Structure 1
Amino acid sequence: MARRDLTGAVDFGFLEDFAAGDAEVIDEVLALFREQAAMWSTMLDATSEGWLDAVHTIKGAARGVGAFALGDACETAETEGAVRLESVRVALQAALADVAAYAHERALQSLKTPRG
């Protein structure tokens, strides 16, 4: 997986600008997003008592990393109800795939960049 695999689910330019290009901050934010996604995924079920809280939390985190389509899907689920949870799950998976491709590309670049 590499940058060529990005779907556009995450605007990494937004994240890079927000983090002022600080690679360590970018990596940390994306690692936290990935870790939290595992927890959120289990709550994205209409039978889960906390699905609405999960959707609200995901919305903020998504917009913070530049996953605007995911944030919008969450906002729709907040207003239209659990019937929209599938679109949140799909958008979350797309965002996670893009994050994985981006992280992979960054790891490859770090191998190519000489350390001085």
Structure 2
Amino acid sequence: MARRDLTGAVDFAFLESFAAGDQGVVDEVLALFREQARMWSMMLDPASEGWRDAVHTLKGTARGIGAHALGDVCQAAEAEGAQGLDAVRDALDAALADIAAYAHERALQSLKTPR
């Protein structure tokens, strides 16, 4: 996957700016987000007592990395209730796919020899 595979689910320019261009910080933040997303995704079930907490936490973290659409659907789910969880899961999947594509592109760039 390369930059052409990014859907726009995450505004990486926002995150890079927030990290003052420090790519190490960007990489660390995205790794933490992916790790936490595994935990949150298990809680995005209406039968889980913690789904509201997961959605609220995910909303703030998503907005912090530039996943604005994910933050918006989390906010809607907080207001609408459990029926909004499908949209949250879909938006989380889209954000994670963009993060994977971004990380893959960065890995490919690191392999290129300087000219």
TM-score (norm 2): 0.97
Q: Look up the SS of the partner of 1:21 in the other structure.
A: coil
The alignment status of 1:28 with 2:22, answered yes or no, reads: no
Runs of at least 5 residues in structure 1 that lack an aligned partner in the other structure: none
* Percentage of identical aligned residues: 78
Cα 1:109–1:42 shift into 2, 3 Å? same
Cα 1:43–1:109 shift into 2, 3 Å? same
CA distance in 1, matches of 2:63, 2:89: 16
Report what 1:4 is aligned to: 4
CA distance in 2, matches of 1:113, 1:43: 43
How do residues 104-115 of structure 1 correspond to structure 2 at under 5 angstroms?
104-114=104-114
TM-score (norm 1): 0.96
How do residues 75-90 of structure 1 correspond to structure 2 at under 5 angstroms?
75-90=75-90
Displaced runs of 4+ in structure 1, greater than 3 A?
Answer: none
How do residues 12-91 of structure 1 correspond to structure 2 at under 5 angstroms?
12-91=12-91
